[in-house]
Amino acid sequence: MEKIYIIDAVNFIFRSYFAIGPMTNPQGESTGGLFGFIRSLNKIIKDFSPTHLVAVFDGPDNKLARTKIYSGYKEHRQKMPADLLTQLHRALEYCALAGIPLLILPGVKADDTMGSIAKWAGKSGSDVFLCSSDKDLCQLITDHILVINTHKDNLLIDRAKVKELFGVTPEKMVDYLAIVGDVSDNIPGLEGFGSKTAADLLSQFDSLDYLLEHPEVIKGKKKEVFIRDQEIALLSKRLATIDTEVVIPQSQDFFKLKEPQERELQKFFQEMHFLSLLKEREIPSNINQEKRKYTLVEDLQALKELVIRLSHKKEIGIHTVATDTHSLFATLLGISFSVEPHQAWYVPCNGKIEKTQVISIIQPLLENEEIGFCGHNIKYDKHVLLNEGIVLKKILFDTMIASHLLAPQKMHDFLDELVLLKMGTAKTSLESLLGKGKNQIILNEVPLNQLYQYGCENVDYIWQLMALFKQEMENEELSDLFYHIELPLISVLFHLERSGIYLDREALKNMSYDLMQKIHSLELEIFKLAGQHFNLNSPKQLSTILFDTLGISPPKKTNTGFSTSAPVLESLIEAHPIIKLLLTYRSLEKLRSTYVDTLPLQIVPSTGRVHATFNQTATATGRLSCQNPNLQNIPIRSEEGRKIRTAFKPEKPDWSYLSADYSQMELRLLAHFSEDPTLIKAFEKGEDIHAFTASLIFNIPLDEVTPHMRHQAKAVNFGIVYGQQAFGLSQGLDISFNEAATFIDTYFQRYKKVKEFFEFCKESVKKRGYSLTLFGRKRPIPDINNKNPVIRAQAERLAMNTPLQGSAADLIKIAMIKIDDLLEKNKELGIMNLQIHDELLFEVPDDKKEPLTHHVKNIMEGVFALKVPLVVDISIGKNWGEC
């Protein structure tokens, strides 16, 4: 063999585990270390194309040989995290499937196994590459044995590099390690000797042995250390020396890479949920290409015949191919249809048939209320078709929403990912059609013979996934939720997106000018306090100003220097007047750049309104999210933030905004679920729940509760709902940990049933693996049984909060469906513009404010009978800010 690559497998996994952080598969197993290990292996294989490679692991009882020499060897090293041990076993499984030779020798450290392989291979004339970030291996380097530090972008360490990095040659590395010691392995070394001193001594004198024999050559007090600790130095040398005489397989064939078991490897990646790794492999399609009947409909007669054929079906899969990802700007290029697996038709709008003819022929089919249509993100298809004047009347199924309902904890709802996960094959990606970088083309430049295959393949998989998800939802008892809430909501959100919301461009322009003036004034004040001009947006320059120029005591140093993040600055607010100014500057600058200057750019010229996109599949709890722009995130806590909302106003002067906001929805749900009599009584009597809680926590009459007490109780109320612990509450209220713990303990003493409910939530999730909302929405939380305590604690918080937040999301969705139905039948009442979690915003004619208020309040408060009343607060104004 010409070359061999020797992988320090445990080194790879350990570094990945701590670098990547918490990462789990659908079964709740930790996978971060495993994922990083595979990534690192793949990089070596990709970069160097080895024919011979071996992954070396520590053998069982590998410390035994060295602990016989020194009982303290590695005793300071923390015990391996329990969830990392399982990943080591998974790494062995991966190597076997990927055809990667592996070596685990009982009682032998990986270093010794690697050293022995390197010595044997080097003698055989092979070039040896030790892949690790462990400096100990540098003692093995020769002209034919090199180290590749894969964690430093495949840094190649040869003899010269060892000298550059450590100041000694590879032959002196063991002596160097014996002098400086090693904290991680608890090799003692010599007291008071650092790396520079050790390197200088070994450069001047031949070896550690020489220095021990002639300590008089060492100047000063360090000579006494060599005389006193001679045995420690020799012990450290023995511990640091890699054993290169371990018995290993001495056959080149043993180290030869084998053919991977592609299908088994694919299943492994699916089980681990390593989609990026799945995509990187060329997975053969599991569909016989001859089975596929994909038809490009190019002539008028064929199109008419297709429409006649499809018009007799009750269910049809559709997929639109359009020019833009923003649905309102998208122009239809073609549409594909499917009614059975492996069969599909693609009708181009840029082919031989005139687009107007295509539209007129397919329109009656798509507007037929007797036919249900299935798509993947069918709301987008509905928008694209309406852009062409086609109203898609009946939505039957959406595979994107169904997949999310079945696995909401894993955000893998793109069609390509679902095909990988569910069908075990890779479909044609959009990127493969368009290319990347400077050679990237647009969709209508893709040759028709490729585009039609792409469109047909998409709709074919949509059709197959529909059948699969229908069965899975039935098995998981999710069909009612899907058909009665999520599916009807598609049309509601379609109407929200289509109507958009009017934005006063001129008002924002004036706000931008005012903000710039305030920001400029702040800059001048900051520069004055700093004594110089600098780039306020440069963390490095700011760090220098704060911690060097102004001498502010910095918090703990990070790998990249002293942090200037918001939490750090907030912790230093009393240290110097400049800190408060910096925080204000950042706040105003964010408002300006993120909202005031950006929102006008998102106004659609043809409507003069902003048209955001609402997502049903972006959160695990069932809450809706909003993007492009995110109108749910318009700031409200600062005066400047609230001012931004005043720029949102009705388009017509004789219209107003009506806001309908559920009052303390999640706390009311907490009362309903826990059946706590004290909490129920408070809501039934219409008490101010935060003041009421304060009176209980502080054990005082309700009328003696101060605003400060109420503020603290409010933080406890909402913190409890989100599973907040004492540390988080202490940070939020700026009180001691003990005070926060007392608040929480007192809360649970006063509301005993609440604590019981939360314990029930955790225990039930541990038993069944998922949390459940009022309407049967499931959120799998497999991490609740993870062996990592940090991951497990986070899972427990999710178990406590999900029934509340998920049920709140379901309730407002049901209310939206009912209100949308009302507005579709009574268009004169107004328009629903936005959903902001527990709040709905409407644009209403001034003469319809009273009837709309009546209807909306009745629908929202009567949407479901809880054990406590649902209360909706209505506010009306001439802009959103006034609401």
The amino acid at 366:
L
Residue 280 pLDDT > 90? no
Top-confidence residue, 145 or 192: 145
Q: Note the pLDDT of residue 718.
A: 87
Query: What is the reported pLDDT for 661?
Result: 96
pLDDT band at residue 491 under the 50/70/90 scheme: very high
Residue whose token pair is 């009459």: 701
| pLDDT for residue 557 | 64
Give the pLDDT score at 248.
93
Q: DSSP characters for 467-530?
A: HHHHHHHHHTT-HHHIIIIIHHHHHHHHHHHHH-EEB-HHHHHHHHHHHHHHHHHHHHHHHHHH
pLDDT at res. 175: 84
CATH topology of domain 3-255: Rossmann fold (3.40.50)
Cα–Cα distance for residue pair 508/531, rounded to 1 Å: 34
Is residue 294 classed exposed, middle or buried when 0-12, 13-18 and 19+ CB atoms within 10 A define those classes?
Answer: buried
- Rounded Cα distance between 230 and 210, Å, is 12
- Taking residue 194's Cβ as centre, other Cβ atoms within 10 Å add up to 10
Say what the pLDDT of residue 64 is. Answer: 54
DSSP 174-188: HHHHHHH-BTTTTB-
Q: Collapsing DSSP states into helix, strand and coil, what is residue 228?
A: helix
Q: Specify the pLDDT at position 690.
A: 92
Q: Is 343 in contact with 297 (CB distance < 8 Å)?
A: no
Q: Pick the more confident residue, 197 or 243.
A: 243
Q: How would DSSP label each residue in 103-128?
A: EE-TT--HHHHHHHHHHHHHHTT-EE
Whole-angstrom Cα distance, residue 601 to residue 567? 31
Q: Is 342 in contact with 287 (CB distance < 8 Å)?
A: yes
SS3 at position 245? coil
Q: Which of 426, 421, 378, 839 is nearest to 633 (CA)?
A: 839
**CATH class of this structure's domain 504-603:** mainly alpha
State how far the Cα of 749 lies from the Cα of 462, in Å rounded to an integer: 53
By mean pLDDT, which of 53-57, 227-231, 496-500 is the weakest? 227-231
The full set of domain ranges for the chain reads 3-255, 285-476, 504-603, 668-807
The correct CATH number of 668-807 out of 1.10.150.20, 2.60.120.650, 3.40.50.300, 3.40.50.1000 is 1.10.150.20
Whether the per-residue pLDDT at 338 is higher than 80: the answer is yes
Q: Which residues pair with 845 in a beta bridge?
A: 655
Residues 6+ away with beta carbon under 8 Å from 551: none
| Lowest pLDDT segment from 165-174, 477-486, 526-535 | 165-174
Q: What is the pLDDT of residues 800-848, one digit of tens each?
A: 999 999 999 999 999 999 999 999 999 999 999 999 999 999 999 999 9
pLDDT of residue 288: 57
Find out whether 775 and 810 touch, Cβ atoms under 8 Å.
yes
Helix (H) or strand (E) segment spanning residue 655: strand 655-662
Per-residue confidence (pLDDT) for residue 67, from 0 to 100: 54
In this model, does residue 282 exceed pLDDT 80?
Answer: no
**Superfamily (CATH) of domain 285-476:** Ribonuclease H-like superfamily/Ribonuclease H (3.30.420.10)
Here the tokens at position 641 are: 């933030």
Cα–Cα dist 62/72, whole Å: 14
67-93 mean pLDDT:
72
**DSSP SS3 for 671:** helix
In Å, how far are 188, 192, 225, 234, 630 from 221, measured between CA atoms? 19, 10, 7, 20, 67
Q: Give this prediction's pTM.
A: 0.82
- Distance (Å, whole) CA 643 – CA 680: 37
Confidence of residue 682 (pLDDT cuts 50, 70, 90): very high
- Is the model's pLDDT at 561 over the cut of 90? no
Q: 3-state class of 594 per DSSP?
A: helix
For residue 776, count CB atoms less than 10 angstroms from its CB and return exposed for 0-12, middle for 13-18, buried for 19 or more.
middle
Q: Cα dist. 482→371, 602, 806 in Å?
A: 19, 32, 14
